[in-house]
Structure formats: C-alpha cells, structure tokens
Amino acid sequence: MYYRKQGLPEEGELVLCTVKKVLHNSVFVSIDEYENKEGLIHISEIAAGRIRNIRDYVREGKIIVCKILKIDKIKGHIDLSLRRVSLQSRKNKETEHMLEERAEKILGFIAKKLNKTLKEAYETVGNKIIENYGLLHAFYVKVAEDNSIITKLQTDKNFEKELLNIIKEKIKPPVVEITKKIRLTSLEPSGITSIKSILLNIINYAKEKSINLIVKYISAPVYSIKIISKNYKNAEENLKVLTNIITTEAKKLKVKFSQE
C-alpha cells in the first residue's frame, strides 16, 4: 500500500504489522498503516500460555494483525498484542486490507490514464476520500449505491468521471438475502386457487414496492420466499410485511399458514 496514515494510532485499534526483529522475549514490528511507526510486542502478548520458542509464532518478514495496547506519546513508544486479536477480527482486518489494496489499484489505474502519479491521485482525490469516508473501498461502495455522492468531493472533474465509470464497472453494492420456508394448506375445493392467489398477491405487492422477492415451490405444501436487500434490517422489515399479508389473505381464504 502506498498510502500511510499520519500521526499515531489509537489504543485498541487493530493494525497490520510486519515483523522486523525477533528477540528471545520480544518482537519489534513496523506498523504498516502508519508513516514511520514501529512498535513492540512483549512475549506475554504473543500467545496465551507458556512460550518455549517465540519463533514458533512469528518470524522476520511475517505480516500479522495486532492490537494497540498502549502508546507513550512523549517517547513515541507503542506496545502491541498479538494474542488479543481474535481469529474473526484478524480475518476481518485482512479482508479490509485486501479490499483497500484493490481500491488503491483502481486509483492508480485512473492516475496512469490521466498521466498522473499515484501520489498525485491521492493529492487530487484519495486523501479527500479517506478523510471523509475512512477507506477508499468504503467510498466506492457508497458511490455504487448512490453515484451522486461522488460530486460531494468537489475534485477534478476528469478524475471524478473516470472514477465513476470504473466504480460502475467494478464495484457491486453489497446485498443480503433472507429465505423463509412457509406452508400453505387448504382442504377447501378451491384451495389450490386460493394458495396461488396468496402467492400472486405478495409477488404483485413486492413489484409495486420495488422489493426484490423470489418465490419458489419446494414440495407441497412448502414454498420458499427469498428477500434480497441492501441490509438485514430492510430485508427483515420487508419479510415481516409480506408474511403479514400472507397471514391476512390466508385467514380470509381459509388457508392454513405456518412458517418453518
């Protein structure tokens, strides 16, 4: 990564580090996300339990995710921990870094196309994005969801145009899916017609309200309804509305309705 944050990290922050030197009771690392910052991991913060050989856990050149424990702002000393980073937190941080590397490559591609350096690209637009949105990739995703956001940067129009074009091509807005199995049964002579009417009713409602809905027949009397949305809250709200419609219609048409 070309971009480096200025100043000091915050206590509790997770950071990517590269192991520089391994001693018998401590490890020195560079904090890769910050400009010219190094830190120390005491052997007690490498792993839980007794450590016989510190090199069983870290070696020079290895990239690791650490947690900032303590910062001496006067001396500039930074203490870190490896053992206090959960597996899921490490994976999340590594994924974030991977996405940010890809986002920076997009910035570099546009810079090259406009005969600029990556440094100039950051000076033109990259730094503004990070100041306002924290990460390049986070900004790209927001633009993919609403491209009017890009104009708020008030930056070079050529850069803005090229960035918008490549975001449209490369970045897809995140979506979530919620699937619910339902049972619809009826002993009435017109039971099949009633069930079809209920399902058609929620399909039409979804179209009217721009809800991304997929209804599938599993096996009598089981069906599945899938909601695709930008976030779980919205998906759950839409699912609740649709199941309420089914409940109301099923009661009117004497159809037994249950959820799995």
What's residue 232's pLDDT?
87
Q: Report helix angle 191-208 to 232-252, nearest 10.
A: 150
> Taking the model in full, what pTM does it have?
0.69
Alpha carbons 199 and 216: distance in angstroms, whole number: 10
- What does the pLDDT look like over 128-183, one tens digit per residue? 999 899 999 999 999 998 888 888 888 888 999 999 999 988 888 778 899 999 99
The CATH code of domain 88-170 reads: 1.10.150.190
Q: Looking at domain 176-259, which CATH architecture does it have? A: 2-Layer Sandwich (3.30)
Question: Domain extents for the chain?
Answer: 14-85, 88-170, 176-259
What's residue 174's pLDDT?
77
CATH superfamily ID and name for 14-85: Nucleic acid-binding proteins (2.40.50.140)
* Average pLDDT of adjacent 10-residue blocks, the chain of 260 residues: 89 96 96 95 94 94 97 92 96 94 94 94 92 92 89 87 91 87 94 95 95 94 93 92 96 94
What's residue 156's pLDDT?
86
Sheet harboring 176-185: ordered strands across? 212-219, 222-229, 176-185, 256-259
Measured CA to CA in angstroms, residue 153 lies from 115, 123, 202 at distances of: 21, 12, 41
Asked if residue 66 lies in contact with residue 41, where contact means CB atoms within 8 angstroms, the answer is yes
Asked if residue 168 lies in contact with residue 217, where contact means CB atoms within 8 angstroms, the answer is no
What's residue 96's pLDDT?
94
